[in-house]
Amino acid sequence: MKRLILFVLVFGLVFASVSPALAAGKGPRGTFALAGTITAIGDGSVTVQVLGGSKLVKPFINQALTVTVTASTRYLLKEGTTTTLISFADLKVGDSVSVNGTVANNVWTAKRITVGAQLIHYP
């Protein structure tokens, strides 16, 4: 029984010391929010000059960030207090946008892109 406990303890310590090394190099992970201006539109992606954003986005402020779009990405147009559904084809270079999504393995994927959104300040 003592050997089993010792084995589990040693295995746990080895796993705990190796896990951060395995995760390194894969970049940030989690949900993000950013605000900026569209600088390019590609097949399945939008490049945004980042003006502000959540914690994961902070290192990219004042840089262009390419965000992947999928079939489930929602596109909205905000005009005053009215928000309407639009399509990917309605996006234009120069549009001010806010983008919410997820990032994993350095792939930024948009869940929602809102045209005409105000710059959001994050703490």
Higher pLDDT residue, 66 or 10?
A: 66
Q: For position 41, which CATH number holds?
A: 2.40.50.320
Domain assignment present for 3: no
For residue 26, what is the DSSP state?
S
Domain assignment present for 87: yes
Mean of pLDDT values over 8-23: 49
Domain assignment present for 49: yes
Residue 48 has what pLDDT?
97
19: confidence class by pLDDT, cuts 50, 70, 90:
very low
Domain assignment present for 13: no
- Return the H-helix or E-strand segment holding 51: strand 45-53
Domain assignment present for 15: no
What is the average pLDDT score of the chain? 84
Domain carrying residue 36:
30-115
| Confidence check: pLDDT of 117 > 90 | no
Count of CB atoms situated within 10 Å of the CB of 117? 19
Residue 25 has what pLDDT?
53
Domain assignment present for 65: yes
Q: Three-state DSSP class for 41? A: strand
Domain assignment present for 70: yes
d(CA 64, CA 91): 17
Q: What is the pLDDT of residues 45-61, one digit of tens each?
A: 999 999 999 999 999 99
